[in-house]
Structure 1
């Protein structure tokens, strides 16, 4: 099968060589017959007409023009009917299949005119018993030759149509392949952005808790050494949780089926998150009101979780000592409202951080997450002091 495919591909890639070989093979037997008969003019004209087949696909217009001139010469000089006439239907077919549209139509008209001319020439070279019989036979010859011309041209035109359809399908397949490559590239870029947001949220929150615990334990252990074990336990638990999340993300990057995974965090995991923040030394109150009218998708719940996580992480990093925070979730008829506020005076609270792209990476990440679910997010200093983050995530309903 491979050898046959290779041979077929070579025939497709070398049309001139194939057609030239076919023309030479046709010239050999007729040339030998004319040589034996001693008909030199017929041999030259016939050989030249057949050789036009060599350019039937590479230069069909040139081949058709040369054949028309040779046929006119054959009509003018007093020679017998030559075997080169066999090239006429081949060139008509090839011009209709591979030539320009004007050449295809021109060769059809020339073929039909040539059918009449060759029959007239045959009738002039032969004697007929009666005029009626001669006209009848001539008309039949004209019809037969015209049918041969029409058949050759129609077959070539159908070949052209099929070739154009195949070319259109190949072009479409090529465009689809390019579009698939682009879609895969966009999907990979989106996944990289998603993983980057996840890694930022995980690392920023975990390191903030660890740094806060380590700084607090360093001073508290001087007065009360018993604080150190509890603090180290909180640091270890935070590190283990972050390590598990990092392994999950790295498993996605490796696409390793053996990598253990666990469900993405959602609203049900907020209690564990709040316990970790309280263990880090931040006084935190949490309230929840209302009942959900519909379930949020898993991605929307992850977005809500990450917003609360990022907002509390910013409190730990920027609100300063003695800061307090409140977190509130309200289920409304339109969706979920989130609110995280602190009374600190850190760098995050001292300068505005609008909802656009002027905030830090964490705020941009929150904004991008919320936009994916047609939500809204605002973040900035509160009038009463501190920093306020609010978000609205609507129900995803068809």
Structure 2
């Protein structure tokens, strides 16, 4: 069973949607009741005037200003030819209400109020009788003016309510559109984030695979003897790296597929490809060592694992990208060093190498738009309010540094 307020709202909407039909029925009922009463009071002239006054109410909400003009004309006719009030004069009050409730123009509404007050004064003197003619006229005019002003005020209140409802409806529509745009923005942001993760995963894994494959090819062609154990170790590294990369890419793609159906964020997407623990960071360094790059690694795993997830994840990706660039561009022979330093105020990460520095130009080119690795690192670090730099060292090699203030991630939930 519907609630009374729901039924009232339904009836109200039906009335607004079928205004012409409802007003025509209303005018017909008034014409029968008030027109008949006018015959007994003023005869056939009263019926004619009442009928001509009431009949236009059928289009009062569709053409309120025209109905107002017609009603004013009929009021003048009545004041001239009929010296008494008629039941049909109720239509004049209805017109005043209709104009106040439906006409947006303030000038038209104020004109209607002024016309109603002047008409009340004229009607009071026209319908007054001796012996206290003036006193009766002023009394009747005052009563009619108060009633007219009250009807006009009620109409304005109704119009204000309707206007507020329209504005509220417009605001709801704008809010819904804003929500849809926000959802589209979040979805686009997550797609970009997922694409960035895929880039980092694929770039690092393929670099390891390529280095191992090139080394195996060189050994197979030039080594005096190439033992099965060596081949097995190299193929094991290639296979493990490829499988790990495939699993991580699949996880990110799953997030990318579901991004429209879930309100996810970067942390959610990243959490599908690991927890960014100290052990994962160690495995990353070991995979690079297995690819043939000596890496000196300085980190305190217990301290690292207490950091918020987002901070650990940014550090993991920064180290991964920096070591990948060393593998790809630093040449040979070369070694790298990874150092993670903890202070009460900030976390500092430094990855450098002692190569000839030729990869520096390429890396710096990435910052200018030739690649996406360093740009992705910079974006991640900036999201946490940190500073990022990538530059040649004074003598040899290249250095990547990241510094992130810890107060920007205070309160972040650590992934366990």
Q: Same fold (TM over 0.5)?
A: yes
Aligned match for 1:71, one of 75, 80, 104:
75
Report what 1:327 is aligned to: 338
Alignment RMSD (CA, Å): 3.3
Report what 1:18 is aligned to: 22
Contact 2:277 2:304 (8 Å CA) reproduced? no
Instruction: Give a deviation string over 1:334-356, Cα, whole Å, max 9, x none.
Output: 31111111233475234561785
How far apart are the structure 2 equivalents of 1:193 and 1:283? 33
Change (3 A) 1:295 1:73: farther
Report what 2:413 is aligned to: none
Change (3 A) 1:353 1:262: closer
Instruction: Give a deviation string over 1:253-295, Cα, whole Å, max 9, x none.
Output: 23399x9946432444211111111111111111247996996
Cα displacement (A) at 1:310: 0.5
Contact 1:290 1:330 (8 Å CA) reproduced? no
Q: Which structure 2 residue ranges, 5 or more long, are not aligned?
A: 263-268, 411-416
How far apart are the structure 1 equivalents of 2:304 and 2:337? 24
How far apart are the structure 1 equivalents of 2:389 and 2:402? 6
Change (3 A) 1:354 1:267: farther
Cα displacement (A) at 1:307: 0.6
* Correspondence list, 1:1-398, <5 A: 8-30=12-34, 39-78=43-82, 81-99=85-103, 100-124=105-129, 128=130, 131-132=131-132, 137-221=136-220, 223-255=226-258, 261=272, 263-288=274-299, 296-345=307-356, 348-351=359-362, 353=364, 356-358=367-369, 360-397=371-408
TM-score by length of 1: 0.86
SS at match of 1:353: helix
How far apart are the structure 2 equivalents of 1:337 and 1:372? 16
Change (3 A) 1:141 1:4: closer
TM-score by length of 2: 0.83
SS at match of 1:380: strand
Contact 2:334 2:353 (8 Å CA) reproduced? yes
Cα displacement (A) at 1:393: 1.4
Deviates more, 1:77-86 or 1:67-76: 77-86
Cα displacement (A) at 1:202: 0.7
How far apart are the structure 2 equivalents of 1:262 and 1:377? 24
Instruction: Give a deviation string over 1:83-123, Cα, whole Å, max 9, x none.
Output: 43111111111111112212222222221222222232222
How far apart are the structure 2 equivalents of 1:30 and 1:326? 101
Contact 2:389 2:402 (8 Å CA) reproduced? yes
Cα displacement (A) at 1:137: 4.5
Deviates more, 1:16-25 or 1:269-278: 16-25
SS at match of 2:388: strand
Instruction: Give a deviation string over 1:214-237, Cα, whole Å, max 9, x none.
Output: 222233346223211112221222
Number of equivalences? 391
